[in-house]
């Protein structure tokens, strides 16, 4: 029986618990360690029982079997303390993914690298952009030599944090009511802008070492939840779209749509009617010596919460 700690923003913590309730893990207790303090009205429940909430300064990390950790670089000392205390830390946001002896795992894709977990008691999911891309190209990489991979990621407000979701909603309401924004306020509503580059290439190469020419484009868009990616692969050989589609249809994590183009909004509508989130793929097209296609996933429900729980099951 497992004693699990969740250290994440409230919104993501809720989604982790939703997936833990559906998992095969035998859980005795879940505790919320508030690296980001919850508000008074925010409470978590696991199997109809209230989840204990602890301030991070008062926590004894050694009491837990697993820690689901979703903090930024400013919270890294807590992650280190948890790992040093002997519990297994699942680094949900890939905070430690750049460290050489921390395995970066996508469940059922590179499970063999889990042996490295014993080095630090830390295992990382890659950045959600990397997870989403890797799942869609895994079988293509396995069967063909790819000489160019380009990923254009359209990032929602939730990719940054839950505060950005609230800010986007507020700005949208103000602008629709004719209220201008402050000059020094970063505009999210009705606008797009490039995001600062992070080392996504290295994370993807930890999973697919054979990839060389990788380009990530990152653009912030006025969407609340859900990453959209336009992915282009080029090979020295022809890529048969029918074979690629057949592989997608055999993957339990993927839902392929022949006729309908799935967007972050339609994805959200689909996810609300399904217990298990998936990666949705559509709009595949052949190009010269390659293919191009469109993917969408709720990065919090699927790329982070669902995959983190699957990783815990795997461990």
pLDDT in tens, 72-126: 999 999 999 999 999 999 999 999 998 888 999 999 888 888 887 777 899 999 9
Q: Quick one: pLDDT at residue 3?
A: 95
What is the rounded distance in angstroms from the CA atom of residue 144 to the CA atom of residue 128? 24
Find out whether 46 and 89 touch, Cβ atoms under 8 Å: no
What is the CATH topology of the domain spanning 129-299? Answer: Dihydrodipicolinate Reductase; domain 2 (3.30.360)
Q: Beta 227-235 vs 290-297: how paired, if at all?
A: antiparallel
Q: Quick one: pLDDT at residue 186?
A: 85
What is the rounded distance in angstroms from the CA atom of residue 179 to the CA atom of residue 198? 34
Domain boundaries, the chain: 2-126+305-314, 129-299
| Strand partners for 291 | 233, 286
The predicted-structure confidence for 33-60, as pLDDT tens digits, reads as follows 999 999 888 999 999 999 999 999 999 9
What is the CATH topology of the domain spanning 2-126+305-314? Answer: Rossmann fold (3.40.50)
**Positive or negative CA dihedral for 52, 306, 38, 127?**
positive
Spans of the chain below 50 pLDDT = none
Shared fold status for 2-126+305-314 and 129-299: no
């Amino acid at each position: 029986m497992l004693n699990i700690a969740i250290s994440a923003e409230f919104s993501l913590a809720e989604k982790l618990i939703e997936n833990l309730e559906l998992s095969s893990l035998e859980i005795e207790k879940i505790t919320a360690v508030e690296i980001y303090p919850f508000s008074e009205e925010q409470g978590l429940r696991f199997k109809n029982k209230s989840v204990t909430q602890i301030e991070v300064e008062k926590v004894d990390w050694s009491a837990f079997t697993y820690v689901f950790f979703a903090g930024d670089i400013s919270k890294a000392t807590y992650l280190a303390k948890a790992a040093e205390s002997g519990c297994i830390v699942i680094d949900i946001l890939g905070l430690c993914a750049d460290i050489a002896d921390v395995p970066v795992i996508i469940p059922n894709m590179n499970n063999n690298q889990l042996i490295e977990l014993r080095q630090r008691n830390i295992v990382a999911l890659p950045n959600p952009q990397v997870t989403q891309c890797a799942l869609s190209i895994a079988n293509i990489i396995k069967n063909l030599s790819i000489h160019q991979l380009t990923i254009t990621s359209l990032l929602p407000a939730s990719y940054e944090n839950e505060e950005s979701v609230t800010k986007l909603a507020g700005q949208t309401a103000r602008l629709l009511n004719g209220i201008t924004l402050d000059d020094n306020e970063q505009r999210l509503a009705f606008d797009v802008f490039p995001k600062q580059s992070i080392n996504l290439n290295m994370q993807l190469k930890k999973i697919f070492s054979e990839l060389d020419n990788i380009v990530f484009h990152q653009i912030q868009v006025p969407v609340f939840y859900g990453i959209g990616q336009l992915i282009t692969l080029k090979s020295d050989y022809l890529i048969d779209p029918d074979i690629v589609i057949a592989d997608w249809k055999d993957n339990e994590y993927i839902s392929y749509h022949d006729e309908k183009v799935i967007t972050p909004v339609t994805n959200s509508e689909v996810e609300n009617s399904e217990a298990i989130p998936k990666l949705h793929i559509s709009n595949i097209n052949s190009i010269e010596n390659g293919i191009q296609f469109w993917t969408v996933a709720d990065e919090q429900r699927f790329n982070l919460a669902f995959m983190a729980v699957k990783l815990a099951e795997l461990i």
